[in-house]
Amino acid sequence: MTASEIRPARVAVPSLAVRARDVLGSEWAKLRSVRSTYWTLLIAAVTSIGISAAVALTFVTQPSAGRPRIDPLLPGFLSLEYAVVAAGVLGVLSFGSEHASGLIRTTFAAVPRRRAVLAAKAAVAGTVTLIAGELLCFASFFLVQAILSGKHLGVSLSRPGVAGAVLGEGVLLSVCAMLGLGLGAMIRHTAGAVAALFGLLFLPAIVGLLPAPWNDRIGRFTLVYAAQQVAALHARAGLFSPGLSMLVVIAWPAAVLLAAAVLITRRDV
Amino acid sequence: MIEVDRLSKRFGAVTAVDGLSFAVRPGHVTGFLGPNGAGKTTTMRIILGLTASTSGTALVGGRRYREIARPLHQVGSLLDANAVHGGRTARRHLLSVARSNGIGRRRATEMLRLTGLEPVADRRAGGFSLGMKQRLGIATALLGDPPVLMFDEPVNGLDTEGIQWIRELFKSLSAEGRTVFVSSHLMSEMALAADHLIIIGRGRLIADTPTARFVESNSRRDVLVRSPRAADLAGLLTAHGAAVLPESDGGLAVTGMDAPAVGRLAAAHGIAVHELVPRHASLERAYLDITGDSVEYRAGVPAGDGGHGQ
């Protein structure tokens, strides 16, 4: 070695907490600096508020004689079907876009602890979609109830179980973003991961076609059934309780993220 | 300092890197040469902990890359200039990478200025030319002011001015005592930019030598001469100290004597000369020769001080 060899500035390696904060800061900067983040959130907002209002309006304009009894929270829940896909895509893109461009190598070269990257991406996308989900669910709740109250069909937030159901509903966007994120990390192609996300979200609902009681016995483990149970005012018999259903809802993304955490350190990029 | 020791990487049946050992020293620009598919990129990815080796080790500053906390302060790298999110601006790209290693905004702005990207810093990288992306990649590599720098094919896409700029940059970085490791498949470029060469073919080491020595031993000059009395002329030339090699088409390849001297000698002895051409084998030719198909049987031939013996 020559005498002039330069050595890195001898700064002590900062604590794990500081390094974690910096990786979080980096992922937060990435999420904020691409348009897809805003587009997916906008789509989630427009669909959830627009569709819940449309469903509520359709409902109140039917003649009262033939009007079916519905759960006053149902319009809000139905509208989420599209918003969760948008949130899922936001999650997929977090890794998918980096794999598509090769940026993932820059990312992993800067932070060789790949699980820290996964955790930071999950924290950032999870928080943004959780806040967005809660805001949207409460916004569409108030809109729907304003429409329904014209026919005295609405329900107040202070009624037991309502606030919890709306809060639970608000978690779903984040849950789907985490599913998408994990799938994106594992599948590494945006289109493939989005397809897998659709499959994971909607395919298990096929068990609804099974003869009773198997439809509910198996169905209660699926995301769609469990999410319905979490967000409903009146829990359905035959499924898990809303509390247990919430655990099912959280277990899905947890399992996918865990699988991603195992795979992500083993593969070449 | 980069140390690669008996490094191998197999992808299924394909052996991309095959028992490769070399060291890249500080204070030099080391060119990493080899034809496309020789294993340069794979080797660089292994050094950066992106790809796992099948066997062998790669150390940077004595440590495995993956064990380095905040590695941008130790190693700066540019593997693929296109590896940026097209929708993100140059500045925000740089800031997000900087942030991950605790590097501040001021340093990132400084790198944008150094690479001449400041005027376009707030434009989306998707609209950049390859040359501009190369500059952004170099800015990224320099963020942590690292003692070790690795660039994979950095001159691709650069215009003449850009190539000159990057050559000067490498020289100044190595003059500061940094380790600069640059891959290329172009011998001509590396002959100008690098002062040490590591040449590989099919994943194996072919040469590890100072550039000057490689140039000296490979840019042979000779003189082609044709004469109806080739045999007589050959004897005459040899007697006057030249070395003569008959070519398959009857010409003579003469070394150790320049063309005017050959002509004078022939004229003095009344030998007619039909053709008299000074030639010099290009460096490119020498490089192609040693990295060509015969590589496998000639590994280690033009060895230098890398310990791969002659």
Task: Give the per-residue pLDDT at B301.
Answer: 42
Give how far B83 is from chain A: nearest CA, Å. Answer: 4
What pLDDT band is residue A153 in, cutting at 50, 70 and 90?
confident
| Shortest CA distance from B179: residue in chain A | A5
**Inter-chain Cβ pairs, chain A and chain B, closer than 8 A:** 129
Same domain, B228 and B213: no
> Measured in whole angstroms, how far is the alpha carbon of residue A232 from the centre of its chain?
18
In a domain, B292, yes or no: yes
Same domain, B210 and B292: yes
3-state secondary structure of A27: helix
We report the CATH number of the domain holding residue B271 as 3.30.70
Which range, of A24-28, A73-77, A80-84, averages the lowest pLDDT? A73-77
* B37-57 per-position pLDDT tens digit: 899 999 999 999 999 999 999
Same domain, B260 and B155: no
Phi, psi of A158 (to 5 degrees): -80, -10
Give the ipTM: 0.88
Residue spans of alpha helices (H) in A62-102: 74-101
A108 contact residues in B (CB cutoff 8 A): 49-50
Task: Give the per-residue pLDDT at B76.
Answer: 97
Contact B22, B205 (CB under 8 A): yes
Which residues on chain A place their C-beta less than 8 Å from a C-beta of chain B? 1-2, 4-9, 11, 13-14, 18-19, 22-23, 25-27, 29-30, 33-36, 97-98, 101-113, 268-269
Contact A223, A248 (CB under 8 A): yes
Contact A154, A146 (CB under 8 A): yes
Task: Give the per-residue pLDDT at B185.
Answer: 87
Beta bridge partners of B254: B223, B244
Q: State the first-to-last Cα distance of chain B, in angstroms, to the nearest integer.
A: 25
pLDDT of residue B294 exceeding 50, the answer is no
* B210-247 per-position pLDDT tens digit: 998 888 777 777 899 999 999 999 999 999 999 998 88
The stretch A109-114 carries a mean pLDDT of 96
Enter the pTM of the model. 0.85
B39 contact residues in A (CB cutoff 8 A): none
We report the CATH number of the domain holding residue B157 as 3.40.50.300
What pLDDT band is residue B300 in, cutting at 50, 70 and 90?
very low
* B127-139 per-position pLDDT tens digit: 999 999 999 999 9
* B90-124 per-position pLDDT tens digit: 999 999 999 999 999 999 999 999 999 999 999 99
Closest C-alpha to B112, from B92, B84, B88: B92
Same domain, B213 and B225: no
Mutate to test the interface with B, among A103, A108, A118, A121 (most CBs of B within 10 A): A103
User: pLDDT over 90 for what percent of chain A?
Assistant: 62
What average pLDDT is seen over chain A? Answer: 90
Task: Give the per-residue pLDDT at A14.
Answer: 86
Cβ neighbours of residue B15 under 8 Å, at least 6 residues apart? B8, B9, B202, B203
Task: Give the per-residue pLDDT at A161.
Answer: 86
pLDDT of residue B304 exceeding 60, the answer is no
In a domain, B15, yes or no: yes
Contact B287, B190 (CB under 8 A): no
pLDDT of residue B285 exceeding 70, the answer is yes
Cβ contact, residue pair B102, A7, below 8 Å: no
Q: Distance between CA atoms of A203 and B299, rounded to whole angstroms?
A: 57
* A187-196 per-position pLDDT tens digit: 999 999 999 9
Task: Give the per-residue pLDDT at B298.
Answer: 43
Q: Could you count the other beta carbons within 10 Å of the beta carbon of residue B263?
A: 14
Q: Distance between CA atoms of B119 and B135, rounded to whole angstroms?
A: 13
Partner-chain residue, chosen from B1, B88, B140, that has the shortest CB–CB distance to A34: B88
Residue B283 tokens read as 């460096």
pLDDT of residue B187 exceeding 90, the answer is no
Work out how many domains chain B is built from and give that number: 2
Task: Give the per-residue pLDDT at A152.
Answer: 79
In a domain, B243, yes or no: yes
* A210-263 per-position pLDDT tens digit: 888 888 888 899 998 899 888 888 888 888 998 999 999 999 999 999 999 999
Phi, psi of A118 (to 5 degrees): -60, -45
Over chain B, what HEC string results? CEEEEEEEEEECCEEEEEEEEEEECCCCEEEEECCCCCCHHHHHHHHCCCCCCCEEEEEECCECHHHCCCHHHCEEEECCCCCCCCCCEHHHHHHHHHHHCCCCHHHHHHHHHHCCCHHHCCCEHHHCCHHHHHHHHHHHHHCCCCCEEEEECCCCCCCHHHHHHHHHHHHHHHHCCCEEEEEECCHHHHHHHCCEEEEEECCEEEEEEEHHHHHHHHCCEEEEEECCCHHHHHHHHHHCCCEEEECCCCCEEEECCCHHHHHHHHHHCCCCCCEEEEEECCHHHHHHHHHCCCHHHHCCCCCCCCCCCC
In a domain, B256, yes or no: yes
* A5-44 per-position pLDDT tens digit: 566 555 578 888 999 999 999 999 999 999 999 999 999 9
Same domain, B179 and B228: no
What average pLDDT is seen over chain B? Answer: 90
Residue A50 corresponds to which amino acid?
G
Same domain, B151 and B69: yes
Residue B39 tokens read as 């294993």
The stretch B158-180 carries a mean pLDDT of 94
Same domain, B151 and B213: yes
**Structural domain of B46:** 2-74+146-217+287-298
Give how far A96 is from chain B: nearest CA, Å. Answer: 11
Q: Distance between CA atoms of B191 and B33, rounded to whole angstroms?
A: 10
Task: Give the per-residue pLDDT at B107.
Answer: 97
The stretch A173-198 carries a mean pLDDT of 96
B59 contact residues in A (CB cutoff 8 A): none
Cβ contact, residue pair A19, B49, below 8 Å: no
Task: Give the per-residue pLDDT at B296.
Answer: 43
pLDDT of residue B297 exceeding 70, the answer is no
B140 contact residues in A (CB cutoff 8 A): 106
Q: Could you count the other beta carbons within 10 Å of the beta carbon of residue B267?
A: 11
Same domain, B232 and B211: no
B27 contact residues in A (CB cutoff 8 A): 1-2, 4-5
In a domain, B159, yes or no: yes
